[in-house]
Amino acid sequence: MIFEEKTVSTNHIFKGRVIDVSVDTVLLPDGKEATRELVRHPGGVCVVAYQDGFIYLVKQYRKPYDEVTIELPAGKLEYGEDHFEAGKRELLEETGVVSKEFIYLGKAYVSPGFCSETIHIYLALGLEKKEQNLDEDEFLDVLKVSFDDAVKMVMQGEIHDAKTIIGILKSEKILREKKML
């Protein structure tokens, strides 16, 4: 079966600093038309920074949920920006850490039913402490947590952020294969 939908028209609703919103009319595989409300986003990157049994997490307030979350160091890509370079930048900005080795763990679609945001996930090894350099509108605490405790936090529902859950669990497999856990 062919699943592709062809765009008939696009009504641009909003163009912001982070997202673009549109309503698209599409032609379905059966020939009927449907409407799709879409959010276009440049994507993001997150990094599992691991050393000697510990990882770095960040604790910050997230307005869409009106709560404090615990997440991996992460950030938004600029349109056209290389996700590897963005990952190195975000790791240093948020935690003050640089890495000698990065392993690409893959990508995840955040909300594929309506949003184009793709998160690229890296495992960083061989860490060296430098100086944190937060964006001026960024307020967060850096947590150094044992990897086992981070996995427990995921499994016990203390971490709700999808990219963080995926990053920690994918890293666990790699770290066990490398006999680093």
Catalytically annotated residues: 136
Asked whether the beta carbons of 127 and 52 are under 8 A apart, the reply is: no
Asked whether the beta carbons of 92 and 103 are under 8 A apart, the reply is: no
Exposed/middle/buried for 5, CB within 10 Å: 0-12, 13-18, 19+?
middle
DSSP 158: -
Phi, psi of 147 (to 5 degrees): -60, -40
| Intra-chain end-to-end CA distance of the chain, in Å | 44
Helix (H) or strand (E) holding 164: helix 162-177
At residue 167, the 3 state secondary structure works out as helix
- CA–CA distance, 23 with 7 (Å, rounded to integer): 10
- Strands (E) in 74-140, as ranges, are 74-76, 97-109, 118-129
